[in-house]
Amino acid sequence: MTRACVHRPRDFDGDGDPDFRCTAYDCDAGVPDPPCWRGGDCDDANPRVNSRLPEICGDGVDNNCNGEIDAADRMGCSRPMHDRCDDALDVSAGGRFTVALAGALGDYPSRCTGNTIPPRDAVLRLRLDAPRDVAVTAESSGASVLVQLNTRCGDIESVRDCVIGYPTVYRARALPAGEYFFQIATTSAVVGTGEVALTVELTDPTPAPTNDACSGAIDIPTNGATLRGTLVDVADDVTTSCGGTTPDVVYRLTLTERRDVTLRATGGRTDYLTLALVDTCARTTTTRRCATGSPSQITLRNLAPGTYFVVVEGTRVPSFTLEAELTAPTSAVPGDSCSNPITISPNSTVMGTVAGAQGDVPISCYGGDSRDVVYRFTLDRTLDVNVLLRGGASDFFFMAVQSACGSSTGEAACRYGTVGRLTARGLDPGDYYLVVRPLRGTEFTLTMVASPPLAPVMASGNDTCATAQSIPSGGGFYMGNTATLRRDYTAPCTLGTTSEDAVFRYRSDTRQRVQFSLEGSSFNTVIWMTQGPMCPGSSVPLTCFSGEGAAPAVFDTLLDPGEYWVFVSGFNAEARGAYSLSVLPLPM
């Protein structure tokens, strides 16, 4: 029995045009079409590219395989499918879809962009014969995606809602029967691959939550409970200290005796929820405790008898659980709030922790809700106070010195960094509070150094090693201006410092740990150190840093006796001006 080979066109992407590298054997024999066939698809992995398609101008692709990208052919340029209302993609049956925004134009205004037309958009059509719960998820690898629902296509006056995210999830509860249009758009002209993956889910309508407003608050049992809720199609009624204008639902908690209260709100894998306990249910209220996270959790110890309200906030979270645990009252851990700060000496090193603490005290350079610990120290005369925090390799610290605990408007200083460093100059006699907020770790070492205020020394003319400003072994405080100097040296920790620099010479008479800080400078700074009797010397490891604002360029290092050179510069060509250099010996 003889078997013959069957030759078929190779068409991996299934667009009807074979790969351009494939040709039938009959063609090689000179047989005319048919059975001769020749492939014309120059990208057989992309069904939007083949020799039978028109060119889409503006998508950066040779759609018609003529060897030219975005070049109009004899038929002119075409647009991608579903670019306008008259070619809207019908999603009335739900499912998974892909729309191409590369090459599309912006046609219709969006509320998400301030009623202006976004750079690129596409249109979906949804027809409902009966009320349905609707969920649309849109995701692009190249940019954030906005999803806008209109009752009339392209009409800004008919917009029901608009959301934007990465990815973006739009949800509507019991959307009435009728015809709707979804505008899918990007806020950036650069859209990566240009494809937006869409999932449209249509389910049976569900009733609105009854606890959308204060009047419908759901009671939490006094023995605790796990409650289920939703944040779809609800309004924002209560303003909390860490929440925004996002939708919320309300629960009521009534205590007849003192209790420890732990609340935990959990949504989906990507859902962030704000959870707060407030004194009264009103637009403006006093927040006892507030946290945002995925999940979010708050604990209040020894909460007094009374009626409180629990507020859960989030954007279109379809379902969440609220767990309430009420247990016997216990005392707060030391330093958990302004009411029980930990007393420390102005010149000391202590071990610290936020284990068991909550985030209570606001500081000006951090608006989050990570756990904090509060220290109190007393000055008997005017002093400069320097604080150094060290934790694990991946830790990050926020900290502030306040004269009135919990009042960020009266702060002496607020700083942050992987190693927490803060300088508060010229603090008058009195009580002060140091608020420490580790962003990742739990344990840390705190060193506080209080010293007589240093009168600033004006540094000028220290443009090169030959004219370097000398710093005594005991340190000092220097002020200068790089705008009057030249660029002479290059920082080893940047791609190339391109601004002017100042040079200092420091002699260490003994083995000592010294901090060099540019805190208080007026521009984005770079500081680095070299060693040797001859300038510019050899680099000292881990002594080159850049910084700005509340995270200034600063380092501390252990120095052996010898000659050192310290360089001050800007991070880019525009970074120049007034600077402050503080040199402070630290406890070993």
Domain boundary among 426, 451, 476: 451
User: Tokens in use for 70?
Assistant: 């975005």
Q: Tokens 């030959």 sit at which residue?
A: 466
For the chain, give the mean pLDDT: 87
| Residue 309, burial from CB neighbour count under 10 angstroms (0-12, 13-18, 19+) | buried
pLDDT of 61 over the 90 cut: no
Shared domain check, 306 and 320: yes
Q: What are the tens digits of pLDDT across the range 480-511?
A: 999 999 999 988 887 665 689 999 999 998 99
In a shared domain, residues 477 and 562: yes
Residue 337 lies in a domain: no
Per-residue pLDDT of 111-128, as tens digits, reads: 998 999 988 899 999 999
Q: Is residue 335 part of a domain?
A: no
- In single-letter form, the type of residue at position 483 comes to A
Predicted local confidence at residue 26, as pLDDT? 57
In a domain, 334, yes or no: no
pLDDT band per the 50, 70, 90 thresholds, residue 192: very low
Q: Which of the listed residues 14, 49, 78 is the one where a domain comes to its end?
A: 78
CA distance 117 to 83: 13
* Same-domain status, 221 and 162: no
Q: What b-and-e string marks burial along 22-40, b requiring 16 or more CB atoms within 10 Å of the CB?
A: bbbeeeeeeeeeeeebebb
Residue 56's domain spans which residues? 1-78
Beta bridge pairs of residue 548 = 551
- Report the alpha-carbon distance of residue 99 to residue 121 in Å, rounded: 10
Number of independent structural domains in the chain:
5
Return d(Cα 263, Cα 301) in angstroms, integer.
Answer: 12
In a domain, 332, yes or no: no
d(CA 128, CA 295): 35
How many other β-carbons are positioned within 10 Å of the β-carbon of residue 103? 23
Residues 462 and 444 grouped into a single domain: no
Please tell me the distance from the alpha carbon of residue 172 to that of residue 156, in angstroms, as a whole number: 19
The model's pTM: 0.64
Does residue 470 sit in the same domain as residue 390?
no
Q: Is residue 506 part of a domain?
A: yes
**What pLDDT is stored for residue 27 in this prediction?**
62
Hey, what are 23's tokens? 């040709």
Considering the domain architecture, whether residues 110 and 44 belong to the same structural domain is answered as: no
Residue 55 tokens read as: 């060119």
Residue 372: give its domain's CATH number.
Answer: 2.60.120.380
**Is 80 exceeded by the pLDDT of residue 568?**
yes
Partners of residue 579 on adjacent β-strands: 480
Q: Are residues 555 and 442 in the same domain?
A: no
Same domain for 321 and 359? no
7 pLDDT band (50/70/90 cuts)?
Answer: low
> For residue range 409-426, what is the model confidence (pLDDT) as tens digits?
879 999 888 888 888 989
CB within 8 Å of 29: residues ≥ 6 apart: none
Are residues 395 and 414 both part of a single domain? yes
**Residue 407 pLDDT class (50, 70, 90 cuts):** confident
Q: Are residues 317 and 365 in the same domain?
A: no
- The radius of gyration of the chain from alpha carbons, rounded to an integer in Å, stands at 33
Reported confidence tier of residue 36, pLDDT bands at 50, 70, 90: low
Last residue in a domain, options 28, 45, 78:
78
**What is the band of 562 on the pLDDT scale with cuts at 50, 70, 90?**
very high
pLDDT surpassing 90 at residue 317: no
**Do 437 and 474 sit in the same domain of this protein?**
no
**Higher pLDDT pick, 282 / 284:** 282
What's the whole-number mean pLDDT along residues 86-91?
94
User: How far is Cα 119 from Cα 83, in angstroms, rounded to an integer?
Assistant: 12
- Answer with the residue of higher pLDDT: 162 or 68: 162
Is 191 within a domain? yes
Task: State the residue for tokens 């969920």.
Answer: 135
Would 208 be classed as within a structural domain?
Answer: no
Which is more confidently placed, 56 or 451?
451
Angle at the Cα of 371 (from 369 to 374), degrees rounded to 5? 115
Is the same domain home to 462 and 582? Answer: yes
Q: What is the pLDDT of residue 258?
A: 94
Q: In the structure, what pLDDT confidence band is assigned to residue 4 with cuts at 50, 70 and 90?
A: low
Tokens of 235: 């309004």
Lowest-confidence segment of 88-92, 93-97, 421-425, 427-431 by average pLDDT = 421-425
Classify residue 336: in a domain, yes or no: no
Q: How far apart are CA 535 and CA 487, in angstroms?
A: 15
